Amino acid sequence: MLSYLLRRLAFMVPTLLGITLMVFMLLALAPGGIGAGLAVQGGQMSDTSRVAQMQAYLEDRYGLNDPVIVQYVRWLGRLSPVKFGMRDLRDGNGERVPAPRAIDEPPLAKAFPVPVVTVPSVVIATGEGAIPQFKKMQREAEGTRRDYVGKVRLFKDAIADYARAAGSPLKERLNGKGGADPRDFSDVAFDHSNAAWPKLEKAAADMHTSHTAALVAQTQAMQAFRAHPYPTSGIPLIPDVVSLDTPDLGVAFSKNRPVWDLIAAALPVTLLINLIAFPISYLIAVPTGVLASVRRGGGFDMFSGFLYLSLYSIPTVLAGVFAIGFLANKQYLGWFPVSGLHASGSEAFTFMPFTDASGVWQRGYLFDTLWHVGLPVLCLVYGSFAVLSKQTRASMLDNFSADYVRTAKAKGVPRKDVVLRHVFRNSLLPLITMFVGIFPAMLAGSVVIERIFSVPGMGSLVIEAIDLRDRELILADTFLIACVNMLALLLADLLYAAADPRVSYD
């Protein structure tokens, strides 16, 4: 059994890799590409070149310039608990501090030779002064890097202008967006008489200047980093090569917050609703199915089948509208609140209800939450009865004609026990299979319901992420869903083994 478990867990890893790779590639191929949500609105900027620089800076910060496969490997590296390379530090607040990133060589180094950079030596402070010095260097490195990236972008734009001024054949080397990829121009001998040449020359000079500054700042910051102003993070396995550290899900660029924070806020909400909804749906559907199968063709069977199928046919949006329009509207019934999960000021509630000094019954936090959760749960649950009860009914009917039922009857087992202990127990197996199909549904959340009732759960999080092509959030969510899916399948197999003694894994 243990070896089986381990084998299953081990098989999860390649599956997860495959899933994330596929999603990553799909995102990269999608129109709009990764990070379309980063598109900068010009608005009040004084200069288009400023916009271009900002765009370049954002792309650099999120690593969107690199080829897709490199981005994927980097994402994997951040996610996996086994880390390669230099270890991050952790500052006093527990935030991860990565090493300052390396500066790329300026493009077209042949046509525009890069001046030699001498990095002035700097004394790395220790003790009290280490952290302030590091912070200062970090800020300097970040600023100069930003500047350099912007200048590289301007240089590329200048090449594009040059190409346009030169006409064909150079003009053909521009890419679809009218921009220039320096690698396409590496063999060009630049013509100084070209109208756009002075600008290009100046752009190259600017680029080299900022490159020097950036390289100096980065080198110094790296020296300070190596002196470990903060303690290192994680557990080293092979020092400086392999280490163990907590997985890092990244920062969602549409919301500018760490993905983990977003998921940690949304997941409990979704879980709350689903963990209440799913037992309710089972507790109503399964007994109905059993009863319907016992009195097959009878009034209850027909009525419940009709009722559940009608409920199943009502689209969720319509149900939500009805729920809000009638059940939550004080002009009609007004039994439930309209939206959200807590009443205003619920932080001040006590947990359990009580009657206060003036004799008024106070709801208390527990009941307030349950009251708010009522309508979303109702909308989540009403359509699920049909499938579950039909499945139970069918499974029960199958088992009614089994031989051991005949034996049980012959033993003198009363009818009720025959149905509940013998037939039902054997009919559970398909239900267990269905039971674990619900786990992925839980994580995905019910998007429509969360939108209708303004519940800040996983569903709305993912839909926003997809809309804005927020790569980190989508990937993290896909990864989580895939993980839980596979764990749920594993759970299903284990439950099966528990429920059916004929099944064993050795």
Partner 1 sequence: MSPSAVKTSHDQSTQDAVRAMSAGAGSAERLATPVLQVADLAVSFDNSSGGPRIQAVNGVNMTLFPQQTLAVVGESGCGKSVTAMSTMQLIARPPGRFDRGSILFEGRDIVSLSEEEMLSIRGGKIAMIFQEPMTSLNPVYSIGDQLMEAIFLHQKVGPDEAKRIAVQAMKDVGIKKPEERLAMYPHQFSGGMRQRVMIAMALACRPKVLLADEPTTALDVTIQAQILELLRELQRTRDMGIMLITHNLGVVAENADVVCVMYAGRVVEYANVFELFDEPLHPYTRGLFRSIPMLRDTRERLVTIKDVTHDPAEFRKIPGVIPWWPDMPAGVRPEGAPGRDEHVLVEVRPNRWVGCWRTPELEARSHRRPSLDYRRGDR
Partner 2 sequence: MQNRFGIKDFVFLVVLLATLGSVWLSMVQKTRMELAQQGMSAKLADIEQQVAQVSRKLESGAGVVRGATAASASTAATAVSTDQSWARPGVKVEHWAAPHCAIDPTTIPGFGMGGEFTELFEAQPAKLTPYISSDVYSTRVLDRVCENLSTFDPKTLRLVGALADGWQIDPDGLWIRAHINPRARFSDGTPVTSEDIRWTYMDFINNPLIEAERARSTQDNLKEVKVVDGLTVDFIFTEAFFTNILIALGNPILPKHYYAKFEPSQINQGTGITMGSGRFRLSKLPSGPEDLSNQWTPGEDVVLVRNEQYWAEKPALERMRFKSIKDDLGRLVAYRNGEGSMMLPTSPQFNKVIKEEPEFEKSNYALKWTNMRCGYSFIAWQCGPRSGKNLTPFADKRVRRAMTMLLDRERMIRDIWDGIGIVSKGPNNPESPASDPAVQPLPFDQDQAKQLLTEAGWKDRDGDGILENEKGDKFTFEYTYATGGEISERLARFVKDSYGKAGIIVTTRPVDWSRYQELLKLRDFDAITMGWGNNAPESDPRQIFHSESIKEGGDNFTQWVNKDCDALIEKGRRTMDEATRMAVWRQLQACIAEDQPYTFVRVAPWLRFVKRDFGNVNTYKTGLEPQEFFRVSGNAQPSPSAN
Tell me which residues in 291-350 interact with partner 2 (CB under 8 A). Answer: 320-321, 324-325, 328-331, 334, 337-340, 344, 347-350
Closest CB 428 distance from partner 1, rounded Å: 9
Strand partners, 236: 243
Number of H helices, E strands in the chain: 17, 9
What residues between 45 and 104 interact with partner 2 by CB under 8 A?
45-55, 57-58, 91, 93, 95
Residue 409 interacts, among partner 2, partner 1, none and using kind-specific CB cut-offs from 5 to 8 Å, with partner 1
Of the two residues 177 and 411, which places its CB atom closer to partner 1 in the complex? Answer: 411
Q: Residues 407-426 vs partner 1: string with x where CB under 8 A?
A: xxxxxxxxx------x--xx
Side-chain half-sphere exposure of 105, counting CA atoms within 13 A: 11
Closest CB 456 distance from partner 1, rounded Å: 43
How far is residue 80's CA from residue 83's CA, in Å, rounded to a whole number? 7
Closest CB 3 distance from partner 1, rounded Å: 21
Q: Which stretch binds partner 2 (CB under 8 A): 115-123, 396-404, 436-444, 445-453?
A: 445-453
What residues between 446 and 505 interact with partner 1 by CB under 8 A?
499-502
**Distance of alpha carbon 24 from the chain centroid:** 12
Q: Which of 5, 22, 39, 242 binds partner 2 (CB under 8 A)?
A: 39
Q: Residues 352-391 vs partner 1: string with x where CB under 8 A?
A: ----------------------------------------
Closest CB 498 distance from partner 1, rounded Å: 10
Closest CB 247 distance from partner 2, rounded Å: 17
Concatenated DSSP letters of 301-339: HHHHHHHHHHHHHS-HHHHHHHIIIIIS-TTTT--S-SS
Specify whether the CB–CB gap between 405 and 422 falls below 8 A. yes
**Is the peptide bond between 169 and the residue preceding it cis, with omega within 30 degrees of 0?**
yes
Of the two residues 306 and 322, which places its CB atom closer to partner 2 in the complex? Answer: 322
Distances (CA, A) of 245 to 103, 232, 239, 240: 25, 10, 13, 13
Distances (CA, A) of 487 to 269, 274, 472, 494: 21, 17, 22, 10
What residues between 423 and 442 interact with partner 1 by CB under 8 A?
425-426
Of the two residues 144 and 482, which places its CB atom closer to partner 2 in the complex? Answer: 144
Q: Edge-to-edge strand order for the sheet containing 242-244?
A: 82-84, 242-244, 235-238
How far is residue 118's CA from residue 122's CA, in Å, rounded to a whole number? 12
Here the tokens at position 69 are: 């496969």
Q: Residues 385-424 vs partner 2: string with x where CB under 8 A?
A: -----------------------------------x---x
Contacts of 219 (CB under 8 A, 6+ apart): 119
Applying CB under 8 A, does 103 fall inside the site for partner 1?
A: no
Specify whether the CB–CB gap between 186 and 109 falls below 8 A. no
Applying CB under 8 A, does 299 fall inside the site for partner 1?
A: no
Residue with tokens 């392999």: 242
Distances (CA, A) of 194 to 153, 187, 368: 20, 17, 74
Closest CB 435 distance from partner 1, rounded Å: 17
Specify whether the CB–CB gap between 280 and 377 falls below 8 A. yes
Of the two residues 349 and 382, which places its CB atom closer to partner 2 in the complex? Answer: 349
Size of the site for partner 2 (CB under 8 A): 90
**Distance of alpha carbon 256 from the chain centroid:** 13
Q: Which of 73, 321, 402, 420 binds partner 1 (CB under 8 A)?
A: 402
Residue 502 interacts, among partner 2, partner 1, none and using kind-specific CB cut-offs from 5 to 8 Å, with partner 1
What residues between 451 and 480 interact with partner 2 by CB under 8 A?
451-454, 456, 460, 467-469
3-state SS, residue 235: strand
Residue 279 interacts, among partner 2, partner 1, none and using kind-specific CB cut-offs from 5 to 8 Å, with partner 2
Strand partners, 199: none
Amino acid symbol at 50: R
Phi and psi at residue 298, to the nearest 5°: -85, -175
64-102: string of b/e by CB count within 10 Å (b at 16+)?
A: beeeeeebbeebeebbeeebeeebbbbeeeeebbeebee
3-state SS, residue 400: helix
Residue 403 interacts, among partner 2, partner 1, none and using kind-specific CB cut-offs from 5 to 8 Å, with partner 1
Residue 408 interacts, among partner 1, partner 2, none and using kind-specific CB cut-offs from 5 to 8 Å, with partner 1
Closest residue by Cα to residue 156 from 56, 32, 35, 70: 56
Applying CB under 8 A, does 279 fall inside the site for partner 2?
A: yes
Q: Which stretch binds partner 1 (CB under 8 A): 234-242, 398-406, 432-440, 474-482?
A: 398-406
Q: Which of 6, 15, 26, 32 binds partner 2 (CB under 8 A)?
A: 32
What residues between 128 and 187 interact with partner 2 by CB under 8 A?
138-139, 142-143, 146, 157, 176-179
Size of the site for partner 1 (CB under 8 A): 20
Closest CB 474 distance from partner 1, rounded Å: 43
Residue 480 interacts, among partner 2, partner 1, none and using kind-specific CB cut-offs from 5 to 8 Å, with none
Residues that bind partner 1 (CB under 8 A): 402-404, 406-415, 422, 425-426, 499-502
